Structures are given as C-alpha cells and as structure tokens.
Amino acid sequence: MLQPRRIAARAAASRIAEENGWRVGEEVGYLIRFERRVGPKTRLIVETEGVLNRQLVDDPFLEASARSSSTSSTSGACHTDLALALLREVRATVREDLIVVVMSATLDAGPVARFLGDCPVIQAGGRVFPVEIAYRRRRGRRRPRQSPGRWNRR
C-alpha cells in the first residue's frame, strides 16, 4: 500500500495494526526511507512512492512482491505518476497477476481508469458532516507589540 509521505506510511501501518490486533513489523509493516519495519510474517507493507520506485528499479518485475499494489493517489505527484506508470508497464508485460488498485477521495477516476486499460471504477459514497468554526480569545494574551522603530521604516 502506498502513501505519499513517511509519516503517513507509519501512521497507516500503525492504524491497520491497531484495528486488527496486529503488531507493526509483524503482520503489517512499513518501508520508508532510512527505516524498515517488516518481518517474515508481514502480510501487508505500507511504503512511500519513492521506495516503490526504487524497488521497481532494483526488481523491475516485482518478483519479490505479492499480487497487489494499492495506491492512494493525488493528482500531479511526480512519484505517484511514475509509480503508476511503472506498475502499468509491469502488469502489461510480465505480471498479469499484479492487481493495481488506485484510491483517491479527490482524483477524477475517468482518466486514471482509461490509463490503466479501461479498468472498472468503484465509487464509495461518503457522508458530509457539518463543520462549525468557533474562535475563542486566549487568556493572558495581548496583541503583539510593534517592532522597534528601525524595523518600521517605510
């Protein structure tokens, strides 16, 4: 499973482990730059796009990987676009068993589906929750003083 940032990869692995009663580094793990928390029992790996791109350079057919790759996509991210293009190429040429899943709350699914060979699009309806913004005055806080005169020259 791909995440765009290192902290997101760690957080996703921790959340998945917590919800399933697993331990990070055991059934679920993560691969990020300079840190690796996976083991022989790891079934799900959360990694950054940069790590996946490096894996594709080192192991172009993803022979060390299982059957699926899940991408949380944001439009215009260079690493994401490259990873998706490389995964499409691997799937089309040598790994027909590779399943590529692209998920996004904001991405227009049509162009991505066409890019991946007119794959099916599944939409999951969400709920909108009202947001109320309230401001409160902080106690003991004054307005910031103006800078010394020498900084206020015009």
Give me the tens of pLDDT residue by residue for the chain, a chain 154 residues long. Answer: 888 889 999 999 999 999 999 999 999 999 999 999 999 999 999 998 889 888 888 888 888 776 666 666 655 578 788 888 888 998 899 988 888 888 887 788 899 899 989 999 998 888 888 999 988 877 766 665 655 555 555 5
- What pLDDT, on the 0 to 100 scale, is given for residue 21? 97
The values of phi and psi at residue 68, to 5°, are: -135, 155
**What would you measure as the largest C-alpha separation in the chain, in angstroms?**
70
Task: Retrieve residue 25's tokens.
Answer: 């580094």
- What pLDDT, on the 0 to 100 scale, is given for residue 60? 85
Count CB neighbours of 49 within 10 A.
23
- What pLDDT, on the 0 to 100 scale, is given for residue 32? 94
- Counting Cβ atoms within 10 Å, is residue 73 exposed (0-12), middle (13-18) or buried (19+)? buried
CA distance 13 to 87: 22
- What pLDDT, on the 0 to 100 scale, is given for residue 18? 97
